C-alpha cells in the first residue's frame, strides 16, 4: 500500500469517525467519549485517546479495542490487513495525516532547585505533617517511617503550612516536591512531576501492583491493604510512566479516583496492558481511597495467619480500641473476626472424638501441605471472582449515573457531577372537598 500502517495509526480518530461514521464526541479527561458505533448503549462507552502519537479506541459495550486498523475491520466487517488498508485509503483519499484536536497543552513548569528546597524544608519541624497524615487516617507506623526516611517535610510558605512529599525515581534521585496544604485544598508540585513510590526495589518482582492518583491515596491503600502491598502514585490522572515499569506484574489494580478523569485513565491502562489483568479497586461509591479510609469502611483483608495473630492479641489486650487502631480496622470488624475465629475453633474441637482421628485430618506433613495449597488456590479463585463481581457492579453504577447526567443535560435539569441528578421537590396538590 502507498501509506504504511504506522502512518494510518496516527490518523485522528475523532475527526475520522465524525466525518465518516457520524459519531459525536465529548471531552473526557485526556481523551474523548461517544456512543458506541457497534450497538446501542444507554451511557457513552466508546473512548478514544492519543497515546505516544497513535490513536487508540476502547469500546466497553462490546469489549473491542485497538488502533484504527482494528476499528475499520470491525466496522466494515473486513478481514486481512490489505483489505482494511485499501478501505482506509478510499475513505481518507490517501491523506492519512491529521492534526490532533484540542490536544492537552503540556504543563508549564518553572525550574526549581529541588535539592536546595529539600534541605531547607528538612530543617522545619515535621510534627505538623505527622498530625495531618494521622488525621487523614494514615497508619501511624507508616507515617513515622516516612518522616524517618526524609520523605515527608514541612513547607511553610506565605503563612500556610504544607505537607511536602519528596518524590524520587528508581535511582533515588530527587525529582520533585509534592505539596498538600494542611488547612486547605491547595496542591502544587515543585520541579518536574514524576511518579511516586516506596516500592522501587520490590516492584519489578511483584505479581500485582496498585495505581493511585495522589500520594495520600497511595498511603491509604497501604493502610487498608497492608504496608507490604506495592504500587505507584501518578500525581494526577495521566500515565506519565514508562510501560516497562509494570511489565513484571501479572495483575494491575486501579485505585484511581471515581470520576471521569480516573475512568479515562483506567481505559488507558486497559489499552496499554492488553496482556495483563487490569481490575478496579472497590471504592464503594467513595471518590478515592482516602475518602474510603476516613469513612470507617475499612475492609482490609487478613490472611488466616493474621486473623490468628489478631485473635491472640485480642485476648491479651486491655485496650481493644487501641488494638483496632493499630491493626487499621474498625472495632466492629475486629470483633467480627474474633467471633469467626472462635466459632472455627469450637467447630474443630466439637468434631474431634477421643481415640479417633479427626475427619479429613492429613496422614502426613506432605498431605497437609497439599491440602493447604489446595485451599489457598480455592481462596484465591473465590477472591478473584468476588473482586470481578464488585468491579462489574461498580462500573454498571457508574454507567447508570453518566446516563442520568446526560439525560439531565439534554432536558436542562440540575445535576451534580458527584451525586448525579438532583431530585425535584415534590409539591402535593390539595384535593377538593365534595359538598
Going by pLDDT thresholds of 50, 70 and 90, the confidence category of residue 239 is: confident
* pTM (two decimals): 0.49
d(CA 75, CA 94): 19
Closest to 118 measured CA to CA, from 70, 170, 30, 179: 179
What was the pLDDT predicted at 90? 80
Q: pLDDT tens for residues 279-336?
A: 988 887 788 999 888 876 445 567 788 888 888 998 888 888 778 777 766 666 678 7
d(CA 247, CA 204): 8
Helices 127-135 & 140-148, crossing angle to 10 degrees? 150
d(CA 178, CA 183): 16
Going by pLDDT thresholds of 50, 70 and 90, the confidence category of residue 110 is: very low
d(CA 27, CA 395): 19
What was the pLDDT predicted at 143? 94
d(CA 263, CA 401): 13
Residue 164 confidence (pLDDT) above 50: yes
The fold for domain 5-92 equals DNA Primase; Chain A (3.90.580)
What was the pLDDT predicted at 176? 93
Is residue 69 within 8 Å of residue 92, measured between CB atoms?
A: no
CA separation, residue 74 to residues 71, 182, 222, 293, 357 (Å) = 5, 51, 42, 43, 62
- Please give the CATH architecture assigned to the domain spanning 195-298: 3-Layer(aba) Sandwich (3.40)
CB atoms inside a 10 Å sphere around CB 265: 24
CA separation, residue 281 to residues 18, 72, 262, 382, 392 (Å) = 34, 33, 12, 16, 11
Radius of gyration, CA atoms only, the chain = 27
d(CA 257, CA 263): 8
Is residue 390 classed as helix, strand or coil in its secondary structure?
helix
Q: Which of 71-85, 106-120, 219-233 has the lowest mean pLDDT?
A: 106-120
Is residue 138 within 8 Å of residue 220, measured between CB atoms?
A: yes
What was the pLDDT predicted at 116? 92
d(CA 44, CA 41): 6
> Which residues on adjacent β-strands are paired with residue 163?
154, 180
Q: For the CA atoms of 163, 328, 141, 211, what is the dihedral angle to 10 degrees?
A: -60
Longest dimension (CA), the chain: 91
Cell numbers linked to 376? 489457598
Q: pLDDT tens for residues 331-382?
A: 666 787 888 888 888 877 777 666 665 666 776 777 777 888 888 888 888 8
Amino acid at each position: 500500500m502507498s501509506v504504511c500502517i504506522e502512518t494510518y495509526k496516527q490518523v485522528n480518530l475523532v475527526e475520522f469517525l465524525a466525518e465518516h461514521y457520524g459519531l459525536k464526541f465529548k471531552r473526557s479527561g485526556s481523551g474523548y467519549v461517544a456512543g458506541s458505533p457497534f450497538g446501542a448503549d444507554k451511557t457513552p462507552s466508546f473512548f478514544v485517546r492519543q497515546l505516544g502519537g497513535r490513536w487508540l479506541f476502547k469500546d466497553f459495550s462490546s469489549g473491542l479495542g485497538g488502533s484504527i486498523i482494528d476499528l475499520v475491520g470491525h466496522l466494515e466487517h473486513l478481514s486481512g490487513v490489505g483489505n482494511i488498508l485499501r478501505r482506509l485509503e478510499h475513505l481518507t483519499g490517501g491523506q492519512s495525516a491529521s492534526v490532533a484536536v484540542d490536544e492537552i497543552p503540556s504543563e508549564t513548569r518553572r525550574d526549581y532547585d529541588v535539592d536546595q528546597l529539600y534541605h531547607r524544608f528538612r530543617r522545619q519541624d515535621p510534627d505538623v505533617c505527622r498530625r495531618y497524615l494521622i488525621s487523614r487516617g494514615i497508619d501511624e507506623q507508616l507515617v513515622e517511617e516516612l518522616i524517618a526516611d526524609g520523605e515527608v517535610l514541612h513547607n511553610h510558605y506565605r503563612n500556610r503550612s504544607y505537607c511536602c512529599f519528596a518524590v524520587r525515581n528508581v535511582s533515588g534521585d530527587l525529582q520533585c516536591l509534592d505539596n498538600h496544604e494542611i488547612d486547605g485544598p491547595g496542591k502544587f508540585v515543585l520541579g518536574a512531576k514524576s511518579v511516586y513510590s516506596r516500592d522501587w526495589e520490590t516492584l519489578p518482582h511483584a505479581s500485582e501492583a496498585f495505581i493511585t492518583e495522589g500520594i495520600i491515596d497511595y498511603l491509604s491503600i497501604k493502610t487498608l491493604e497492608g504496608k507490604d502491598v506495592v504500587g505507584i502514585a501518578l500525581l494526577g490522572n495521566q500515565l506519565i510512566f514508562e510501560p516497562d515499569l509494570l511489565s513484571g506484574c501479572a495483575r494491575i489494580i486501579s485505585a484511581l479516583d471515581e470520576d471521569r478523569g480516573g475512568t479515562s485513565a483506567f481505559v488507558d491502562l486497559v489499552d496499554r496492558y492488553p496482556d495483563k489483568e487490569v481490575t478496579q479497586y472497590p471504592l464503594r461509591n467513595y471518590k478515592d481511597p482516602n475518602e474510603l479510609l476516613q469513612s470507617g469502611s475499612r475492609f482490609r483483608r487478613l490472611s488466616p495467619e493474621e486473623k490468628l495473630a489478631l485473635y491472640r492479641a485480642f485476648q491479651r489486650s486491655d485496650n481493644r480500641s487501641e488494638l483496632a487502631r493499630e491493626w487499621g480496622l474498625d472495632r466492629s470488624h475486629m470483633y467480627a473476626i474474633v467471633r469467626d475465629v472462635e466459632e472455627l475453633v469450637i467447630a474443630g474441637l466439637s468434631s474431634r472424638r477421643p481415640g479417633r482421628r479427626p475427619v479429613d485430618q492429613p496422614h502426613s506433613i506432605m498431605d497437609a501441605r497439599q491440602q493447604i495449597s489446595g485451599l489457598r488456590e480455592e481462596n484465591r479463585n473465590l477472591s478473584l471472582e468476588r473482586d470481578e463481581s464488585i468491579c462489574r457492579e461498580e462500573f454498571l453504577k457508574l454507567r447508570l449515573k453518566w446516563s442520568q447526567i446526560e439525560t439531565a443535560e439534554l432536558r436542562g435539569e440540575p445535576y451534580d457531577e458527584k451525586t448525579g441528578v438532583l431530585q425535584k421537590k415534590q409539591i402535593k396538590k390539595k384535593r377538593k372537598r365534595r359538598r
